[in-house]
Homo-oligomer: A and B are copies of this chain.
């Protein structure tokens, strides 16, 4: 700093201090940091207010659209942040927060996350990441091996190969799904004679060259919304994203899938990809992947498996078999920020054949040069953080056996909760847990029997009221702020197409105890009893 001009004002001096002098150990930020280091859950329970403010009121603290003119003391910001932001955030790692796919995390990830930010590597290129490049390639290789279990020679040839990639690490499952179908599209409509391929010439020229009237992607009705978004982004169109019905277990109806493939092919429509789901977002079920792989082969199409949620099940030798057939997929999406217990911002796509990555290869003048090992040559994203480091640490520290225990316990917990629901007179299990997700609803015992013996009209009327009841219970439980379940809509076979709103729970948090689960049912019973009008209306139907 020798000859940068002497500070023109106090501002410049204090500004540079922000870059060079750490906070003192008594500052607000340091104290917050100490607390989260020592007792994260305690900190969150103390700081996040239990009673929820309506979002409209929270917005009042974030209303200015002008970047503040004057600098602010770090400690003042820390105080303000505690009161306005943290106190009204969500305790996503709470053992009673079982409505979404967040969980408690291993403690060692906290210092590692800080280290990652301190290192601030950019893994788009070797020049700004060095060892982070082979480290990330290894993580991708380990995920590849988890799915495909190729030989050591295979990984020796490909894992650190400059010309290809075993997959791509990215910010999450959506980017992974887009990348998979982008690669599938580019290979399906690749260069051919004078035609330079869809990557160069676009979708319209591709269909024209190959002589198809259209191209489609097929998946089940339980497919994640990112898949239709992908069809939009890739220029295929959401109408060409075809959702096939599911069976009573929320798995794709194989007969209908085959029939649709035959129909489409007869209409000169190219099936670009079939997408199997390993762990649907809403019910946690796994498609019959082996059968889907056969159909994909039959129709000469790309088979992708979206295992964003369920992929981690492969870590358990006791449940791995549930995903049988995934090894036939040409690409697989797995989120590390779900059942690998990594903080949000870590998803992977894996390519069975690393040469699939050729179809999305790209270069630039100043980086990503031909022959370099820059990972960015084969990713949708550009500059990316060294998040793979957190995955690398967890795979090593927890180990496959540790993950197996976590996966097994989660599934056992879901089975236990399903038993509790089944044993309770006033609850109805709507989808059985195959992994650690299940759905259910509150239905007073008397209404359960009525539902089985009533007219279609009455059944629909009852389900409509129950839907309102479920919504109210879910909202009130969320607002009470102690526990949280989410809700979604299903059309269970037993109600012949009636739309049914259900509670949805995800039991991946290792700190969620059996006690908490019982407590959640108790709380829901109490909340239900407060819905006097709805309960009365239910009784009157059919009388």
Residue among B61, B62, B80, B111 making CB contact with A29, cutoff 8 Å: B111
Decide: A239 near B77, CB < 8 A? Known: A15-B405, A55-B126, A85-B389: no
Kindly list chain B residues whose C-beta atoms are within 8 Å of the C-beta of A445: none
Q: This chain: how many copies in the complex?
A: 2
Chain B residue contacts of A395, Cβ below 8 A: 67-68
Q: Are A510 and B401 in contact (CB under 8 A)?
A: no
Q: Which residue of B lies closest to A139 (CB)?
A: B62
Q: Mark A189-216, 1 if CB is under 8 A from B, else 0.
A: 0000000101111111101000000100
Q: What are the interface flags for A177-192 relative to B under an 8 Å C-beta threshold, 1 for contact and 0 otherwise?
A: 0100010011000000
Q: Which of A36, A66, A131 has the most CB of B within 10 A?
A: A131
Contacting residues, chain B, for A229 (C-beta < 8 A): 362, 380
User: A238 to chain B: which residues have CB within 8 Å?
Assistant: 199-200
Which residues 397-445 in A have Cβ within 8 Å of B in the complex? 397-403, 405-406, 409, 413
B114 with A113: CB separation less than 8 A:
yes
A2, B182: Cβ atoms closer than 8 Å: no
Inter-chain CA distance A289–B120, complex, in Å, is: 32
Main secondary structure of the interface of A (DSSP, over half): helix
> A243 an interface residue at 8 Å Cβ cutoff?
no
Q: How far is the CA of A20 from the CA of B337 in the complex (A)?
A: 19
**A287: interface (CB < 8 Å):** no
Q: Mark A341-375, 1 if CB is under 8 A from B, else 0.
A: 00111000000000000001011111110000100
| Residues B114 and A100 in contact, CB atoms below 8 Å apart | no
- Does A513 lie within 8 Å of B4, measured CB to CB? yes
Q: Is A109 in the interface zone, CB < 8 Å from B?
A: yes
Do B233 and A81 touch (CB < 8 A)? no
Chain B residues with Cβ below 8 Å from A402 are 11, 15, 71
Most chain B CB within 10 A, of A52, A110, A114, A200, is at A114
The CA of A23 and the CA of B40, in the complex, are separated in Å by 12
Q: Is A480 an interface residue (CB 8 A)?
A: no
The segment out of A141-149, A297-305, A453-461 that lies at the interface is A141-149
- On whether the beta carbons of B364 and A134 are closer than 8 Å, the reply is no
When C-beta atoms are compared, the residue in chain B nearest to A186 turns out to be B232
Q: How far is the CB of A433 from chain B (nearest CB, A)?
A: 17
B residues near A69, Cβ cutoff 8 Å: 399-401
Q: Which residues of B contact A150 (CB under 8 A)?
A: 65
Give bound CA distance, A486 to B364, whole Å.
13
A113 touches B117 (CB 8 A): yes
Tell me if A89 is interfacial: C-beta within 8 Å of chain B: yes
Contact B486 A127 (CB under 8 A): yes
A368 — which chain B residues lie within 8 A by C-beta? Answer: 225
CA distance A53 to B199 in the complex (A): 37
Q: Is the CB of A81 within 8 A of B366?
A: no
Chain B residues with CB under 8 Å of A16's CB are 510-511
Q: Which residue of B74, B115, B515 contacts A33 across the interface (Cβ within 8 Å)?
A: B115
Q: Check A172–B381 contact: CB distance below 8 A.
A: yes
Chain B residues near A87 (CB-CB < 8 A): 131
- Smallest beta-carbon distance A418→chain B, Å: 16
Select which of B178, B399, B478 is within 8 A of A233 by beta carbon: B178
Chosen A-B contacts, 13 in total, with CB atoms closer than 8 Å, are A63-B156, A71-B398, A85-B392, A87-B131, A92-B121, A105-B120, A110-B114, A172-B382, A178-B380, A182-B233, A202-B237, A233-B233, A235-B236
Given contacts A67-B399, A77-B108, 17 further A-B contacts (CB under 8 A): A18-B397, A19-B511, A55-B130, A58-B130, A63-B138, A68-B399, A86-B115, A89-B119, A127-B478, A171-B345, A174-B381, A198-B235, A199-B232, A202-B231, A335-B383, A344-B385, A366-B489
